[in-house]
Every structure is written in C-alpha cells, then in structure tokens.
C-alpha cells in the first residue's frame, strides 16, 4: 500500500490521554520541523520507567478475551525461536552473540555489580542473536560519559578539586530536577595531545571530566564554552574535546566494539536480570569491563541467523480519498519471515478482516474485528521476535498508520512492538538534510531492539533513479514488475466475499512468483481472446485503472496480486543489503542504525576516534563555521576536444587517487604545520611536504599521519578481502567478502570528503585543498608526459594526443587503428608515468573507448573495451541515457541513436530514427509513459527562488489531496499539457495519473523544443 532508526534517544511519548500528532495523511498539513543535518544528532536520555505503561493497565488488557488470545498464542507458537539449552538456563556457559543494535536507557545503578554506586546511571543495551538463533538483550553497567578539556598551566591537584566543586555547583543549577547524587562524578588529570597540527612535544596535560548522564556532557560543555570562574585565573572559557561523541559510539570505541560484530560474555561474568525488562530469551546484566569483543575475522565474520520480517498492510479507503488512519480501517496485514542467508521464507501468512478463502502455501488468519487484526499482528511480532523489520515505505506509511490507527481505536497495548516490555513504539516527523543525500521529509519510527530497514529510504540514499516506486525499482533491479491495485477499489474487494478478500490477500502478499506484469496482462487478454490495450501493456505503468482490474479473470488476477510483501525481501537479497550494511558497520565501527539514519561523516569520525585513541590523541569539538571558512579550488577538468573519434581512445585512471595522495604526502590534521609554527620550528626542507596550494605538512619520518594510517589499513584490508573473495567457494562467504571489500572502498573514498565538509565534525580545508591541488598537478603532469614521450620523434607510429582529462582519468588518442595496439600503448604509458609519482600513487590502464563520442566536459559515450576481441558494453557519462531528469522518450531516443552511431555505424539511420520519433510525437502517437519527467523536491515551494514545474505541481496536488501529495525528498513525476498561448511551463505541469483520468491533451511542441532539442 502506498509504496512510493535514528541513533539518538528520544524523550518518552505523550501519555495515552494526550492527542496524537496530526497524521501526514490527514487534511491538515503540520508545520514541518527545521531540517536536521547529519551533525545535529545528540544524546537524549530516555528514562526507563517513563517509557512503560502502567503494569496494572497492561495486566487488565491481557486478561480480556483470554480464551481467544490463548487460541491465537497456540497458533503462533509454532513460529517461536528455538528453546534455550540447559547450559544457558543454568548460566554455566559463555554467551556469544552477534550484536545488531546498541542504545542506552537511564535506570538505577546495579548494586550487585557496582556496590558503591547509587542513583541513576546510563545502562547500555545490546541486542543481538546467538549462533543458535536465540535473542539476546545484554544490559551493560559501569560505563560513564566523559569528555576532555585542556588543563590550564600551573593547575595542581588542589586547583582541580576547587574547579570540580565550582563546576558541580554550576551543573546543579542547570539540573535542578535530576535525581543523580553527583553531576560531575570526577575530574582526572591525564596526558594527551590534540590531533590538530604538528606538535613536537609528545603530550600535554588534559582534564578528563566524567559526568553522571550522557545529556550532561552537552550541559557541561555549554558551561565551559560560556566561561567559568577559576581561582587564580578568573573567568575562563574552554575548548572541549570529544564532547560531541554520541554515548553509544563512545562505549563502542572504548570497548573495541564495531557494528555487527560478535561479543562474548564469559560464564560467571554475567547475572540473569532479577526482573526481565525485555522479551528476549537471554537477558542479563554485566560490567562493560567483562565484555570480549571479537574482531570480524575468521569464524567471527559469519552472520547470525537473523529473523527478517517483510510486511505490508492494506487499508480500505473511502471513495475518492486516500486512506487516513483517523477514518479508514486496516483490513489486511501480510507477513513473510526469512532467516538471514536462506532463500525462502519459513513463514508466509496474511491476517485479514472478515473471512478469506484459503491460499496455497499461505497461512490465512481471519478475524471479525479490526482490533483483533491489530492485536493478532502485535502477538505475531512478539512470538516471532524479528531482528530486522523491512518493507517499502514502512517508516513513512505502514508503521505510522498502524500506530495511529490503533490510537484511533483506543488499543493502548498495540504499540508495544519492540523488545522492551510495555515500551511503546514512538513516531515523529523528521526532516533530514545532508550534502550527499539532500533534504527529505520522513517519519522517525523507534521500535526498540529491532532494526527497521525501509527499502524506499535505502534506495533513495544509495541509488539515483528517476522513480522510486516499488514498481519501478523492481523493474530496475529484478527485471520484473508488480502492479499496485488502485486504492479506490480496495474497499470494493474487502466488502465483497471471502473470494474477493482472498484476491486482496494474494495482492498484499505478492509472493514468490516473480512474474513480469506486462506478460501477465498480455496473457490475461490472450486467454479471453481480446487485444491487449495500449502499447503492449506499457501504459499500465502509469497506474492501473479499476475497470481494467475488474476485467481480469480470477485465475490471472490471482497471479497479479501475489507479490508485495516479498518484493522488499527480494530486493534485500538481490542487493545484499544486510551483508553490505553489516560489513560497512564493521569497517567503520558504527551501529547499523547509524548507517540508516546518518550521513557519511559519522563513519569517518568513528574511525578517526578509534585511531586517535590508540595514539593517545584527542579531537577538538569544532564550532560549525558554515561557509565562512571559505572554499577551495576543485579537481582539474582538462579542456575537452569535442568530436567523434573513430580511432581507439585509451583511458588511464589513477587508482584511488585522493586516498593515494593523502598517503603519499602524509596529509593529516596532526601533520599540518601552521605558518607561525613553520617559522618557529625552522623545519628542514627535506622533512616537510609543501603542497601546490601552499600548505606545509611534515613527512612520516617526523610524524606519521592518522588519516594516512586509516587509509593504508582500509586499502590493505580491501586487497585481502578481494583476494579471499577470489578463493571463496561458499556463496554466503562470497556475499560477506564482497560486501566487505565494497564497504572498505567507500570508506576510503569518504575520508577526503570528511576534511572538506565545512559544516562537518572536523573540517580542515588545508587538507582538502592540498589534495585537489596535487590532483590537478598530476593530471597536467600526465598529459605532458604522454604527449612528450609518445611521438613520432620518439619512435612511435603517431604523436599521442590527450583529448580529455577529468579528476582522476586521462583519455589519450595514440593514433593507432587497432584496439589491441591502443591497449598495449596504454599499459606502457601507465607504467612509465606511475614511476614518476610518489608511492602509492599509481596510474593504471583500464579500458579503451572505440569509437568515442566526446560532446563536452563530463559528457561522452563510447563502446567500452577491456578485451580486444569484443567490446563489453556501451558506456555513457553525463548524457540523457543516464540523466534521471529527462523523460523516457529522450533517453530511448538518445540510446537508440548512440546504438546506431557507435555499434551499427549507421549515421543516416540515426538521423531517420530521430525524424520518425519527432513525427510520432507531433502526431500524438507517443505513449504517455514516455513523456513523464521526474525531478526531486528538495525544499518547499516558498524556498525556491524561481517557480519550477515540479514544485508548482506539488503545491497544486497538496491542495487537491494532502495525503497523496509529494513531500520534500520525493521525486515528482509530471507531464506538460496544452494551455493558453504564453503560459509558463510551471503553469502547465500536471500529474500523469490526473492527465489519464481526465483525458487532458499533452503539448508535444514543448517536448520537441525543451526535451529533444536541448
């Protein structure tokens, strides 16, 4: 239905008597919160007792309809996790599990483990699964939040004690309602060194300030930022160090835990909880110092048998309205549960409102009331105990709809879907913004102890597609499509009989058939002896019409509707999302949930913090400077010598250019020499690297940089992973290794961007500008060497010519007509030029383009050759075949023309094809689906300086029906319709479905002048 985790902790939700927030699907649109950047996330303490419903209320709810619940529990019990062995029950064996989620909660100190403690403390919660499939909730005690400040000169033990008292007093003023006995637990004098700038001295005194609760770090930092009175020093403000590190991440770093790794708690080092706070099979308390973290290598690189639930809901909307939780019932919930690493689900069921005919291979569970459906699903979640919940748009639609619908029905116990007893799911509107991912409006759903993996959000983050509908994504990645039943006919099916509800259930499941929709449509009409309407069924991609649905015979309709809950699982498997995200979490050291809710910088920061800890360095908390820090010149793009090249073009590529530059020249925060220090220290020229941008960095002989070390380890680990991948035989092992090498590559390439992000955690433009200046120098150096060496005077057949260069590659025409000869010259050039660079910078020959069409900078196409016998593919960059904001007509037109020019070598044929296409367009013989343009809605209409077609359409759609209108972050499909002469394009943009339903004519002249001609 409507298929179009945040690491921080939130305050508890409103009590049940408070009104719920306005739904996204209601007629009134709430004012969106200001966007959160990826750096805005801070710890927010959740107090354990405040998240729970009253025990008496829950008990009374559980006692209702006891017999019905007992019958349901008996039916669900077959899907429970495997029982615990006696060794676990007797606590005589170590507990080893793969952790999936780490957070914290505020509770009372554990007297048994910490006899001297009192009051409230942060309790780390680690959720995971053992190798046998048992669920785990590990409660970790004794780890305290802290940060650093530089110790003022001359401050002795007595001064530190007085400073402690003063700071404690200020903290009491700021936290009058807190129940902790002591806010600043202690202040320790330690020897550290700032990561910023080269310093000859090994270390200097710092104060480590340990506070009671994670949120008190920010409070204490604010006091020190503003200034505090110190005896003998007067009012003094401090730069804080590592005061912006999230508490869960700090815990992981200090305990050497990385995301998704295996953790062991030895027998005798843990205590079974006196009163279980979770529904997990294994719940116990332990000290953080007793945890054993296993590196993800060898047997500990494997994956636990995580339970993955894929679900989909269907709602019965009123005629002409999109479903709203305040009015429209949930009529079906389809579920499929798969064990990680297995191909087929071991659970397939559907829960329906009213009776439903049997479905082969599916457990159909029918209920008389909607309340029973919702409570049955809640019991199903509790019994099956999924580790990962997936679906398409579940965080923005399915989960919020279920929660709000239960609230409308007064089902207070329904939102207890997480692993914590009686703790409600929390939903809130969010707006996230980062440079890489843009701005997106969504909903933040917290299901404690379970990872929510919304495939729609993952697709939007990881792939640039013209459409993110489940239909389009399935066609793109699975080469098959599903077709949504329009919401306007779902009520008709629900209000029919058991057989029509069966059809709806099959649609909701949309299971394993994997049948391409157009073929089904064709077959259905073939069976009836009728002609398939439209262009071979392709026009159905615009949205199925109710009358067409009703025209399909039941046997074909059965196949059409058997898709939706399993498509997200298919996508998850096809794209190896679980493997890739777990491996990225392991490589970067962050929780998996961070990868789903944060940008790039947290991953680099985690690695930087870990390496800094090893080197006894601390990282300053830099105030965000925004654009005031200035900009730097980007990468070089050599002037493109546009034209059609009928001789092979060899491409020389730098391997991991920016990481290689940082390693070769030791570019790091701790190796950067300030201009003032450069004068004072009088460093010998042979001990420093002076970059083309004018910065100075010491060489490794004086001090090895942290960033180069991180990069060396990442690239060396990737090399090992790729070598192991070649030797691996087991498909699961291959999937893990492939995900690992990809994560290592992405992580290495992210380090440079981290230093150049002016609103990031630790920007350093001296590093980023030095990297790009070296890159420019190398591209120009490569061009000169190629054109100087490969000449007729040098004994070669032709004079080489560099026709284009872009960031990390150079394209060379050696003048030879043979692909193999061009490859040999390319290899020779790469080897010769690599010898002139500082290691590990290396120029590689990778491919030949033949023939090659160079249009302009960053826009070209050609046949891609890595083997002289046959080309690999037709490769395009920056032109309409890969740009997602052009209509399909232009993409198809350009693709076909390129095929005729590059492969068929039929230029007249390409010209004729263009003429025929234009003729079809002007004669209105063009399928509407080919004319749809899509553009991203990156901000609200008022924030755009000029009126844009997709923005104005989004505003009009919002006035028609706020529930179905695009939100910030969505891609908006539209077509341009005919209107009065002189009307602007933004006035003529329209929703394709609206155009189809109202028979509105398209403006072909616009497409000719603004899409094809441009």
**SS3 letters across 61-73:** HHHCCHHHHHHHH
Contact yes or no for 310/566 (Cβ under 8 A): yes
- Tell me the C-alpha distance between 436 and 37, whole Å: 11
Q: To which H or E segment does residue 334 belong? A: strand 330-339
Provide the pLDDT for residue 727: 87
Contact yes or no for 312/334 (Cβ under 8 A): yes
Quote the tokens at residue 988: 């003529």
- Tell me the C-alpha distance between 444 and 434, whole Å: 16
**Residues 6 or more apart in contact with residue 62 via CB below 8 angstroms:** 69, 413
- Tell me the C-alpha distance between 390 and 455, whole Å: 7
- Tell me the C-alpha distance between 251 and 273, whole Å: 21
Q: Give CA torsion, residues 943, 947, 948, 953, to 10 deg.
A: 90
- Tell me the C-alpha distance between 29 and 50, whole Å: 30
Quote the tokens at residue 776: 């420019």
- Tell me the C-alpha distance between 865 and 653, whole Å: 14
- pLDDT profile of the chain (1014 residues), mean per 10: 44 35 34 46 63 45 59 83 85 93 93 90 97 97 97 89 94 85 94 93 92 95 92 86 96 97 95 92 96 94 95 80 87 91 89 83 89 94 95 92 95 93 86 61 87 90 82 81 51 59 52 33 41 36 35 34 67 87 92 86 93 95 59 66 95 93 96 90 90 94 94 90 86 80 87 85 92 93 95 94 92 95 96 95 95 92 94 88 78 92 94 95 90 82 74 88 78 90 87 87 92 83
Predicted TM-score (pTM) of this structure: 0.82
DSSP-assigned letter for residue 271: E
Provide the pLDDT for residue 634: 56
Residue 916: exposed, middle, or buried by beta-carbon count in 10 A (0-12, 13-18, 19+)? exposed
SS3 993: helix
Provide the pLDDT for residue 501: 57
- Tell me the C-alpha distance between 180 and 117, whole Å: 11
**Residues 6 or more apart in contact with residue 818 via CB below 8 angstroms:** 648, 868
Provide the pLDDT for residue 437: 54
Q: Closest Cα to residue 350, out of 465, 505, 472?
A: 505
- Tell me the C-alpha distance between 558 and 556, whole Å: 5
Provide the pLDDT for residue 760: 77
Q: What is the CA radius of gyration of the chain?
A: 31
Quote the tokens at residue 82: 């495997």
Provide the pLDDT for residue 207: 97
* Integer CA distances (angstroms), 988 to 586, 729, 949, 965, 1010, in order: 50, 57, 8, 17, 14
Contact yes or no for 669/762 (Cβ under 8 A): yes
Could you tell me where the beta strands, DSSP code E, fall in 55-198? Answer: 95-108, 120-130, 135-141, 146-150, 184-194
Quote the tokens at residue 86: 């006696």
- Tell me the C-alpha distance between 773 and 752, whole Å: 13
Quote the tokens at residue 35: 């966007």
Could you tell me where the beta strands, DSSP code E, fall in 881-988? Answer: 933-936, 971-976
Instruction: List, in order of start, the domains of the chain with CATH numbers.
Output: 1-33+50-79+306-467+578-589 (3.30.420.10), 80-142+255-301 (2.40.50.730), 146-251 (no CATH), 627-702+763-879 (3.90.1600.10), 883-1014 (1.10.132.60)
- Tell me the C-alpha distance between 522 and 529, whole Å: 10
């Amino acid at each position: 239905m409507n298929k179009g985790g945040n690491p921080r902790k939130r305050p508890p939700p409103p009590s049940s008597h408070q009104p719920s927030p306005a739904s996204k699907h209601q007629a009134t649109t709430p004012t969106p919160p200001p966007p959160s950047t990826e750096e805005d996330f801070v710890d927010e303490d959740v107090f354990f007792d405040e998240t729970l419903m009253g025990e008496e209320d829950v008990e009374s709810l559980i006692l209702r309809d006891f017999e019905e619940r007992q019958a349901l529990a008996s039916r669900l019990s077959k899907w429970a996790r495997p029982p615990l062995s006696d060794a676990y029950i007797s606590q005589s064996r170590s507990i080893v599990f793969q952790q999936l989620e780490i957070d914290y909660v505020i509770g009372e100190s554990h007297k048994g483990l910490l006899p001297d403690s009192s009051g409230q403390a942060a309790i780390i919660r680690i959720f995971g699964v053992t190798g046998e499939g048992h669920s785990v909730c590990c409660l970790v005690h004794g780890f305290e939040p802290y940060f650093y400040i530089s110790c003022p000169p001359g401050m002795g033990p007595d001064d530190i004690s007085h400073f402690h008292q003063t700071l404690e007093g200020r903290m009491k003023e700021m936290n009058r309602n807190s129940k902790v006995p002591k806010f600043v637990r202690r202040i320790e004098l330690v020897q550290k060194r700032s990561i910023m700038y080269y310093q000859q001295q090994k270390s200097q005194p710092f104060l480590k300030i340990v506070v009671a609760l994670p949120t008190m770090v920010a409070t204490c930092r604010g006091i020190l930022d503003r200034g505090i009175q110190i005896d003998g020093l007067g009012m003094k403000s401090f730069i804080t160090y590592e005061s912006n590190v999230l508490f869960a991440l700090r815990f992981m770093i200090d305990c050497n835990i990385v995301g998704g790794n295996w953790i062991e708690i030895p027998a005798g080092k843990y205590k079974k909880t006196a009163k279980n706070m979770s529904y997990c099979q294994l719940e116990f308390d332990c000290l953080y110092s007793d945890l054993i973290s296993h590196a993800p290598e060898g047997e500990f690189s494997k994956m636990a048998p995580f339970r993955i639930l894929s679900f989909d809901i269907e709602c019965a909307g009123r005629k002409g309205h999109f479903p709203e939780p305040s009015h429209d019932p949930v009529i079906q919930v389809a579920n499929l549960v798969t064990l990680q690493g297995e191909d087929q689900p071991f659970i397939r069921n559907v829960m329906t409102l009213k009776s439903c005919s049997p479905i082969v291979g599916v457990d159909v569970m029918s209920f008389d009331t909607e309340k029973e459906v919702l409570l049955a699903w809640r019991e199903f979640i509790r019994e099956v105990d999924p580790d990962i919940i997936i679906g398409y748009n579940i965080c923005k639609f399915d989960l919020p709809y279920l929660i709000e619908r239960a609230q409308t029905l007064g089902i207070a116990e329904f939102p207890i879907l997480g692993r914590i007893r009686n703790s409600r799911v929390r939903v809130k509107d969010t707006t996230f913004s980062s440079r890489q991912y843009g701005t997106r409006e969504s909903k933040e759903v917290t299901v404690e102890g379970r990872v929510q993996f919304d495939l729609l959000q993952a697709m939007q983050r990881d792939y640039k597609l013209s459409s993110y509908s489940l239909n389009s994504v399935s066609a793109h990645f699975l080469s098959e499509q599903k077709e949504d039943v329009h919401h306007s006919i779902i009520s008709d099916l629900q209000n029919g009989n058991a057989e029509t509800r069966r059809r709806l259930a099959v649609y909701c499941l949309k299971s394993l058939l994997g049948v391409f929709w157009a073929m089904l449509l064709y077959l259905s009409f073939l069976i009836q002896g009728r002609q398939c309407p439209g262009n071979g069924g392709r026009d159905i991609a615009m949205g199925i019409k109710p009358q067409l649905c009703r025209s399909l015979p039941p046997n074909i309709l059965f196949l059409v509707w058997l898709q939706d809950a399993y498509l997200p699982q298919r996508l998850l498997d096809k794209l190896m999302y679980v493997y890739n995200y777990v491996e990225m979490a392991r490589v970067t050291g962050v929780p998996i949930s961070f990868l789903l809710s944060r940008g790039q910088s947290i991953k680099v920061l985690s690695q930087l913090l870990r390496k800094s800890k090893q080197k006894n360095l601390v990282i300053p908390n830099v105030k965000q400077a925004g654009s005031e820090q200035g900009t730097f010149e980007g990468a070089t793009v050599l002037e493109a010598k546009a034209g059609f090249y009928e001789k092979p073009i060899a491409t020389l590529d730098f391997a991991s250019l920016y990481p290689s530059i940082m390693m070769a020249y030791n570019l790091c925060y701790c190796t950067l020499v300030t201009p003032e220090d450069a004068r004072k220290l009088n460093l010998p020229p042979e001990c420093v690297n002076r970059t083309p941008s004018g910065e100075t960095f010491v060489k490794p002989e004086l001090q090895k940089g942290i960033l180069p070390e991180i990069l060396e380890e990442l690239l060396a680990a990737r090399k090992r992973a790729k070598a192991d991948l070649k030797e691996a035989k087991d498909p699961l092992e291959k999937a893990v290794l492939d995900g690992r090498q990809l994560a290592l590559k992405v992580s290495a390439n992210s380090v440079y961007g981290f230093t150049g992000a002016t609103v990031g955690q630790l920007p350093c433009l001296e590093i980023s500008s030095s990297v790009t200046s070296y890159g420019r120098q190398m591209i120009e150096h490569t061009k000169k060497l190629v054109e100087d060496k490969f000449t007729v005077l040098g004994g070669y057949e032709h004079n080489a010519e560099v026709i284009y260069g872009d960031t990390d590659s150079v394209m060379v025409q050696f003048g030879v007509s043979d692909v193999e000869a061009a490859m040999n010259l390319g290899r020779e050039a790469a080897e010769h030029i690599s010898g002139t660079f500082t290691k590990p910078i290396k120029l590689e020959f990778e491919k030949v383009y033949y023939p090659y069409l160079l249009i302009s900078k960053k826009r070209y196409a050609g046949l891609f050759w890595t083997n002289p016998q046959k080309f690999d593919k037709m490769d395009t960059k920056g032109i309409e075949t890969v740009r997602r904001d052009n209509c399909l007509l232009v993409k198809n037109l350009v693709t076909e023309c390129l095929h005729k020019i590059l492969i068929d070598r039929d230029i007249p044929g390409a010209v004729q094809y263009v003429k025929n296409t234009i003729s079809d367009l002007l004669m209105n013989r063009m399928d509407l689906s080919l004319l749809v343009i899509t553009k991203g809605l990156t901000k609200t209409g008022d924030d755009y300086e000029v009126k844009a077609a997709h923005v104005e359409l989004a505003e009009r759609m919002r006035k028609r029906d706020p529930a179905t209108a695009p939100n910030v972050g969505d891609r908006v499909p539209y077509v341009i319709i005919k209107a009065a002469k002189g009307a602007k394009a933004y006035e003529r943009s329209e929703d394709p479905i609206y155009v189809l339903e109202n028979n509105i004519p398209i403006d072909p002249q616009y497409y000719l002048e603004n899409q094809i001609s441009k």
